[in-house]
Structure 1
Amino acid sequence: MNSQTVSVIIPCYNAERFLAEAIESALGQSIAATEIIVVDDGSTDQTRAIVARYPQVKYIYQSRQGVSAARNYGLQVSCGEYIVFLDHDDYLLPNALEAGLAAFRQHPDCGFVFGVCRNIDTNGIRLQGSNRAVLEHPYPQPIYPNILKGNSVHPPARHLFHRSVFETVGKFDTTLTVAEDYDMYLRVAAAFPGHCHNQEVVAYRTHDVSASTTARPSHHLASTLKVLKKQQPHLRQNPQYQTAYRQGKQHWIKIYGRYMVYDIKFYLLTKQPQLAAQSLYLLLRYYPQGLLRYARELLANLSRRWTASTTC
């Protein structure tokens, strides 16, 4: 394996809307990628035809198995010493690989390096005042406890990984349908030192059909807490990590807990009682105040309706 070889792996499903932009961003790097691999996770649209426009890109098809399985397949067939996982709806900035490789030369002890994001909307326009604005800021040290706390290092394309990290920590967890990338960030950062070079390397797109926006909050919370629990063996004898773990748990409960009551309503309306029960359990265990908030909201709505009816 030659030094400084980089594999860019693009997992995708029904990716015709954004895939060409992702591929062209990988092809347009200031330091060329050794290979670009698109792993099609069972698409039924024009994904295959789009990839066919780029003969220098390797195309692999698998039946629908999820993004983790697609990333794992790409990793298995890739040959680069360094790995980038580029989601099909994001794109790399021209200096992404160059910045990552330079950071590795300066920090050869690291297992991974990463930069910061440019947040964009569906049309590629830079977002101002986004709730993801923190992803554009320099990342604080130390890295592992900050990831534990919930300080995001998303999306995957921010990172350049040394292949050896996967030989140590294993592949993406295919039992997770959300938070699978958070799980990998934690596993890698627990096992290897990392470095944030703070250069802008990826445009991170916000749109309505991404996995992060379509999954229900209760599903997000259950998966994220499962991911955090897997880190417990690393917390022993380290008070800093234990504190970060507790902070992270409360962070994610606060993020998702306030919306779980609406999951219960959604699952009942869509005749999914088992999922409604699971959401109720999570709500009562981790965010019971959500019921009080919802009750207040209902009372406020009833009051407004009553006021409107009496003034007509």
Structure 2
Amino acid sequence: VWQPNRGLGGARNAGFQVSKGEYVLFLDADDRLRPKAIEAHLSCFAAHPQVAFVVGDIDNIALDGSYLSSPRWPLLQGNVYEDILKVNHVANTIAVLFRRSVIEDVGGFKPSCSPSEDVELLLHAARLFPSAHHRSTVAEYRRYPNSLSRKGALMLPAILRVMRLQGDVVKGNPRLSEARRQGEAYWRDYFGKETLKELLANAVRCSPRGFTTSLATLLWYVRGRLFVWPWRYRKSLLRAVKRRFCPAK
């Protein structure tokens, strides 16, 4: 499949259009699917035939493929929109097997939400359909310094744009509105910390443009929480900068 560069969402939509299967899984080129991943997903579908998508666990791996960590989230069942509105209970779309009809019904990945179109799709699907989560490790997510998940100044505005879109959905529902508020705080913390690491890294390598972008992102999107983080996360931030610029000999 060839097309002009339309970002991750555009590439996934193009791949989906030429696919023919009843089930769909989106796997990025730098990540890995475990050998029995599809079998584990289909077993979960068999146990929960009413659901529209199933979610497994992932392992984080380094650039060279070595093991890093195994993030684990609570096992959710049924209508989980409120849960993942609060916290990202789905580590990555590589951990999800969808029924084809789900992607058709939600309209695929929305380029306007790039590069957080995967979160928008998961929220949209969870709002419309039930799901089931299982404990099998189905994929390996590669983490490295330049991966999208580490680019806080890029990701933070995008993910908050996705959360703002949920405002029209939850309007008039106090419970879901509170879940959305908690979700915004969660993402401000998550990508705000990554942006703060970028800010420190840009200061160390004397990059005025990068420093200004990171600082502007923090001041505009994080605001008051910015004054809490440097002290709360001082040790992890210093370790991150040290690993990047003072590698062990």
Shorter-chain TM-score: which interval? 0.7 to 0.9
Distance 1:259 1:78, change over 3 A: closer
Partner of 1:245: 180
Partner of 1:144: 81
Distance 1:289 1:147, change over 3 A: closer
Which one of 281, 286, 306 corresponds to residue 222 of structure 2?
286
Q: 1:263 touches 1:276 (CA, 8 Å); kept in 2? A: no
Q: 2:157 touches 2:221 (CA, 8 Å); kept in 1? A: no
Distance 1:289 1:97, change over 3 A: closer
Distance 1:292 1:203, change over 3 A: closer
Q: 1:158 touches 1:201 (CA, 8 Å); kept in 2? A: yes
Shift of 1:117: 0.9
Give the alignment of 1:143-292 within 5 angstroms: 143-213=80-150, 215=151, 217-258=152-193, 260=195, 266=202, 272=209, 276=212, 280=216, 283-284=219-220, 286-288=222-224, 290=226
Which one of 50, 55, 65 corresponds to residue 109 of structure 1?
50
Q: 1:109 touches 1:193 (CA, 8 Å); kept in 2? A: yes
Superposition RMSD on alpha carbons, in Å? Answer: 2.9
Distance 1:183 1:106 in 2: 27
Distance 1:198 1:159 in 2: 12
Distance 1:70 1:193 in 2: 26
Shift of 1:170: 0.5
Partner of 1:33: none
Distance 1:258 1:210 in 2: 15
1:96 aligns to 2:47 (yes or no): no
Q: 1:258 touches 1:290 (CA, 8 Å); kept in 2? A: no
Partner of 1:87: 28
Distance 1:196 1:220 in 2: 26
The residue type paired with residue 101 of structure 1 is: L
Q: Deviations for 1:162-198, whole angstroms, at most 9, x for unmatched residues?
A: 1111221111111333222111111111111111022
Distance 1:170 1:94 in 2: 30
Distance 2:83 2:228 in 1: 32
TM-score scaled by structure 1?
0.64
Q: 2:160 touches 2:184 (CA, 8 Å); kept in 1? A: yes
Structure with greater helix share of residues: 2
Q: 1:115 touches 1:158 (CA, 8 Å); kept in 2? A: yes
The residue type paired with residue 202 of structure 1 is: A
Q: Which has the larger radius of gyration?
A: 1
Q: Deviations for 1:255-293, whole angstroms, at most 9, x for unmatched residues?
A: 2334546767859x65659x9479526514532453687
Distance 2:73 2:229 in 1: 33
TM-score scaled by structure 2?
0.78
Partner of 1:122: 63
Distance 1:279 1:196, change over 3 A: same
Distance 1:228 1:172, change over 3 A: same
Distance 1:243 1:289, change over 3 A: closer
Q: 2:21 touches 2:100 (CA, 8 Å); kept in 1? A: yes
Q: 1:190 touches 1:234 (CA, 8 Å); kept in 2? A: no
The residue type paired with residue 206 of structure 1 is: R
Distance 1:256 1:80 in 2: 35
Shift of 1:151: 2.4
Q: 2:116 touches 2:158 (CA, 8 Å); kept in 1? A: yes
Distance 1:149 1:91 in 2: 28
Aligned length: 228
Shift of 1:240: 2.8
